[in-house]
């Protein structure tokens, strides 16, 4: 049973105090191949998913946006190219991932890269207009704590967006995807990133992540209103939205 002292790291039960380090170890090991692996594993589709997220966000001039678990900064960099008046805060716990992001040629002055934990954000209450957590919530040790922090730092009228791998709600896609996740992803990790275990973790962590309705309920419990989710590719990826009134 998972209780307050234990958490899942992939499909293994570990002490809560160990999980963050184990996850960070994964990202330390894959940071140099992270972007390449995303392109290969998703057949380039992660770029379309990120574009769809940005389209849904409908960001306005001069808004403040936090992308937590930004990794190498794809989403924030795209937003800054679309609107240079937006203040973008790119936060991640992993220095290697941030370093790879910062080294991308962007020329954008509205990007602020910061080494922070989603579970304890160093921002005052009611600060951001938009909050993004993309393919990160699955990796966080205390999901509820991270969601509460998102609510705290959003202004009234602010919007929460989570993009994450989710439960496939289409049988045809699920048959193909199950096999792809279990076998192909770790194999690609072994051949390309030279790290089978990191990509085995990716695959297992997707299976362990709560399904769409459970996340929706968590968002409602925290206080978000007008919550909904949008499945992409039959639920392989899902975007949850919540509104803070
Ligand atoms: C799969 S990557 C996603 C990167 C990027 N958001 C994207 O969509 O490509 C997950 C990122 O979340 C970060 N992360 C995991 N736990 C975190 C935490 N508690 N606080 C901040 N970042 C965290 C990892 O370091 C990693 O860079």
Q: Which of the residue ranges 41-55, 62-76, 102-116 would you say has the lowest mean pLDDT?
A: 102-116
Q: What percent of the chain has pLDDT over 70?
A: 98
In a domain, 192, yes or no: no
Q: What is the CATH number of the domain that holds 15?
A: 3.40.50.150
Determine whether the shortest distance from the Cβ of 23 to ligand 1 is under 6 A: yes
Question: 10 Å Cβ neighbour count for 125?
Answer: 9
Q: Is residue 3 scored above 60 in pLDDT?
A: no
Nearest 5°: phi and psi at 154? -80, 145
Q: Report whether residue 198 contacts ligand 1, using a CB cutoff of 6 Å.
A: no
Ligand 1 centroid to 111 CA: how many Å? Answer: 17
205 lines ligand 1 (CB under 6 A): no
20 located within any domain: yes
pLDDT digits (tens, 9 = 90+) for 148-183: 999 999 999 999 999 999 999 888 899 999 999 999
Domain residue limits at 229: 6-170+199-243
Residue 17 lies in a domain: yes
Does ligand 1 have an atom closer than 6 angstroms to the CB of 135? yes
pTM given for the model: 0.95
Give the pLDDT score at 194.
92
33 is a domain residue? yes
CA of 117 to the centre of ligand 1 (A): 9
The total number of structural domains in the chain stands at: 1
Give the Å distance between the CA of 178 and the centre of ligand 1.
Answer: 23
Assess whether the C-beta atom of 129 lies below 6 angstroms from ligand 1.
no
7 pLDDT exceeds 70?
Answer: yes
Joined together, the tokens standing for residue 241 give 């939205």
Instruction: Answer yes or no: is pLDDT of 108 > 80.
Output: no
Distance 42 CA to ligand 1 centre (A): 17
Q: Is 139 in the pocket of ligand 1 (CB under 6 A)?
A: yes
Residue 181 lies in a domain: no
> How confident is the model at residue 173, as a pLDDT?
92
- The span from the CA of 219 to the CA of 71, in Å, is 23
pLDDT tens digits along 45-71: 999 999 999 999 999 999 999 999 999
| Cβ–Cβ < 8 Å for 136, 68 | yes
Mean pLDDT of the chain: 94
Residue 176 lies in a domain: no
Domain contains 150: yes
- pLDDT tens-place string over residues 123-153: 999 999 999 999 999 999 999 999 999 999 9
Please report which confidence band the pLDDT of residue 6 belongs to, taking 50, 70 and 90 as the band edges: confident
Does ligand 1 come within 6 angstroms of the Cβ of 218?
no
Q: Whose CA is nearest to atom 6 of ligand 1?
A: 70
């Amino acid at each position: 049973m998972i209780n307050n002292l234990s958490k899942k790291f992939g499909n293994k039960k570990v002490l809560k105090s160990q999980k963050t380090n184990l996850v960070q170890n994964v990202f330390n090991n894959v940071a140099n191949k992270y972007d390449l692996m995303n392109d290969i594993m998703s057949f380039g589709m992660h770029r379309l998913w990120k574009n769809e997220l940005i389209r849904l966000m409908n960001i306005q001039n001069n808004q403040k946006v936090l992308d937590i678990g930004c990794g190498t900064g794809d989403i924030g960099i795209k937003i800054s190219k679309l609107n240079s008046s937006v203040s973008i805060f790119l936060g991640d716990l992993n220095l290697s991932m941030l370093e790879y992001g910062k080294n991308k040629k962007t020329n954008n002055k509205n990007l602020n890269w910061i080494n922070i934990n989603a579970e304890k954000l160093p921002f005052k209450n009611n600060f951001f207009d938009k909050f993004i957590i993309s393919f990160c919530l699955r990796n966080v040790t205390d999901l509820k704590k991270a969601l509460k922090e998102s609510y705290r730092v959003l202004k009234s009228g602010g919007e929460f967006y989570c993009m994450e791998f989710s439960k496939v709600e289409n049988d045809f896609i699920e048959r193909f995807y199950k096999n792809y996740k279990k076998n192909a992803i770790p194999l690609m990790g072994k051949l390309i990133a030279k790290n089978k275990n990191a990509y085995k973790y990716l695959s297992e962590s997707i299976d362990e992540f709560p399904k769409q309705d459970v996340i929706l309920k968590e968002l409602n419990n925290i206080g978000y209103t007008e919550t909904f989710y949008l499945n992409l590719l039959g639920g392989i990826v899902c975007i949850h939205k919540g509104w803070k009134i």
